[in-house]
Amino acid sequence: MRPMTLFAFAAAAVLVLSGVAGAAGDPAHGGGHGEGEGGLSFLQIKRWDLGIFTLIVFGLLLLVLHRFAWPKITEGLAKREAVILGAREEALKARQDVEEVRAKLQKEYADAQDKIRALLDEARRDASALRASEKEAGARDAAAERERAKREIEAARDAALEDIYEQAVDLATTLSAKTLARKITADDHRALLAESLAELKQTAKS
C-alpha cells in the first residue's frame, strides 16, 4: 500500500476519533461539564482570544529577538569562540615552545653533566699521575739522600778509624820505645805507622 494512501486512511481515522472526542466533551451533546458556572469554569472557554494574543505576543517576541538579539549573540559567540580557539592555539604553541626549550635545556644539562664528568675524570687522572710522579721523585730524592748519608757515614767512619789507628800506633810506638829504651827516629816512626796501618786495614777488610 502506498504511503499516501495509508496516510489518507490514518487521517480519516484521526478525524473520526477527534470527532468522537469532541462530541464527548461538547456540552451541547450532553457529554461533559458546562463551561459557565462551576464545572470547568477555570478553563475560561470564553477567553479563546487569549490564545491569539499569546501567539501574537510570542510571535512578536521571536521577531524582535530575531532582529535585535540573535545576530549579536551569534556574532559574539563566534568572536568568543575565535578568541578561545586563538588562546588555545597560543597556549598549545607556548606549551610546544616550552617543551622545546625544556628539551634543549635538558640536552644542555646532559652535555654539561658529561663535560663535568669528563673534567672530573681528567682531574682524577691528572691527580693520579701527579701523585705517582711525586711519589717517584720523592723516592728518588730519598734514595739519593740515603746514598749521600751513607757516603758521609762511611767517610766519617774511615776518618775515625784512621784517627784511632794513628793514636793506636802512637801509643804502641811510645810503649815500644819505652820498652826498647831507645828513641825511634821520625823515619822509623813513619815506616812503623805505614806498616801498622796497612796491617790494620788488612785486618778490617778481612
Partner 1 sequence: MTTLFGKASIDPFEHVVDSDHIAIFESIGWVIHLPPPLSKFIVFLFLAAVIVGAALIWVAGKMRNGDPPRGRLWNAIESLIFFVRDKIARPGVGEHDADKYLPLLTALFLFIFVCNLFGMFPFLPSPTASIYVTGALALVAFTVIHVGGVMENGLGGYLKTFIPHIDLPSPVAKYTLTIGMAALEYLTAFIRSIILAVRLFANMLAGHTVLFIILFFIKLVADPAYQIDVAKGQGWMYWPVSVFSVLMVVVLSLLELFIAGLQAFVFTFLTAVFIGLAKHPPH
User: Under the rule (CB under 8 A), what is the footprint of partner 1?
Assistant: 1, 3-4, 6-7, 9-11, 13-14, 17-18, 37-38, 41-44, 47-55, 57-58, 60-62, 64-66, 68-73, 75-80, 82-83
Residue 179 three-state SS = helix
Residue whose CB is less far from partner 1, 13 or 116 = 13
Query: Containing H/E element for 113?
Result: helix 70-180
- Coil, strand, or helix at residue 38? coil
Q: How far is the CB of 101 from partner 1 (least distance, A)?
A: 30
13/112 with CB nearer partner 1: 13
CA distance 33 to 69: 45
Least distance (Å) between residue 91 CB and partner 1:
16
The x, y and z cell numbers of residue 157, run together, are: 767512619
User: Least Å distance between CB 93 and partner 1?
Assistant: 21
Distance, in Å, from the CA atom of 118 to the CA atom of 5, rounded to the nearest integer, reads 94
Residue number, 46 or 131, with CB nearest to partner 1 = 46
How far is 185 from 175, CA to CA, in rounded Å?
15
Shortest distance (Å) from residue 61 CB to partner 1: 4
